[in-house]
Amino acid sequence: MNQLYLHILLLKFHETARWLEESGLLIAKWKDGHIIDEEDGRFNLYFKDGDGNLLEIIAHSYVKEDVLVPQSPLNILYVREIGLPVKSVPIFREWLKSNLNMKTTEDGDIFNFVVGGTAYVVATWWQRPWIPIAMKALSPKVHVSFGTPDVVFLQRIQNNFKKNSVSFECKCNEVSFIEQGYTFSIVHTSEFHSDIPKQLNLPLSI
């Protein structure tokens, strides 16, 4: 089971939620039966796709929504998060920070958001149940691709890898590596501007 989190338009959140309900996909319910969770300007809803993967649509009131063009009937602005279960959250978190220059607002032992631009890695202890379905997630077999418009950043990552003795492969402006059993790539995406996270008003990017 993979876990993906899609940031969508806040103004279209309830319309998107209705579209999902009418699509026939399995909508995850909380213990009290509600499906849309709301807290401090944040709305989210969990659902499963046809392959059994857990997905979330999420919207935050602080995000400026006129920066990117929404895509698909889900009104997706960008893929916000991917959940990656690991045996040790602190080890994985510090690896992401020291090698990929990712950041955190706070550090936890069983759950952590590790952030780089628009990308959030949800590092979670492999025995922690996922809400709201209360199931433990197996490590998904995924190839995670991050994009960067900054070729200097690609070189900085390679320098970090060399300094920390991390094996990697580089070709055609793409750096690939394996960590915690997951395959990653960082790809040069020249079509995006480097200040998009700041324009979106994302935390750790302002």
Residue 105 is inside which H or E element, if any? none
Domain count within the chain: 1
Q: Rg (Cα) of the chain, in Å, rounded?
A: 17
Query: Residue 206 domain-assigned?
Result: no
User: Which domain range does residue 136 map to?
Assistant: 3-199
Task: Identify the CATH number of the domain in which residue 99 sits.
Answer: 3.10.180.10
Query: Residue 205 domain-assigned?
Result: no
Cis peptide before 140 (omega within 30 of 0): no
Structure tokens at 85: 């279960």
Q: Is-contact 81 121, C-beta < 8 A?
A: yes
Query: Residue 163 domain-assigned?
Result: yes
Structure tokens at 77: 């602005």
Average pLDDT of the residues of the chain:
92
Q: Is 158 helix (H, G, I), strand (E, B) or coil?
A: helix
Q: What percent of the chain has pLDDT over 70?
A: 94
pLDDT band at 128 (very low <50, low <70, confident <90, very high): confident
Query: Residue 151 domain-assigned?
Result: yes
Helices of type H across the chain = 13-23, 89-100, 151-163, 196-199
Query: Residue 75: is its pLDDT beyond 80?
Result: yes
pLDDT tens for residues 45-57?
Answer: 999 888 878 899 9
How does DSSP classify residue 82?
E
Query: Residue 55 domain-assigned?
Result: yes
Query: Residue 139 domain-assigned?
Result: yes
Residues 6 or more apart in contact with residue 125 via CB below 8 angstroms: 85, 86, 87, 88, 89, 109, 110, 111
pLDDT band at 130 (very low <50, low <70, confident <90, very high): confident
Query: Residue 25 domain-assigned?
Result: yes
pLDDT value, residue 134 = 65
Task: Classify residue 24 as exposed, middle or buried by CB count within 10 Å of its CB (0-12, 13-18, 19+).
Answer: exposed
Query: Residue 14 domain-assigned?
Result: yes
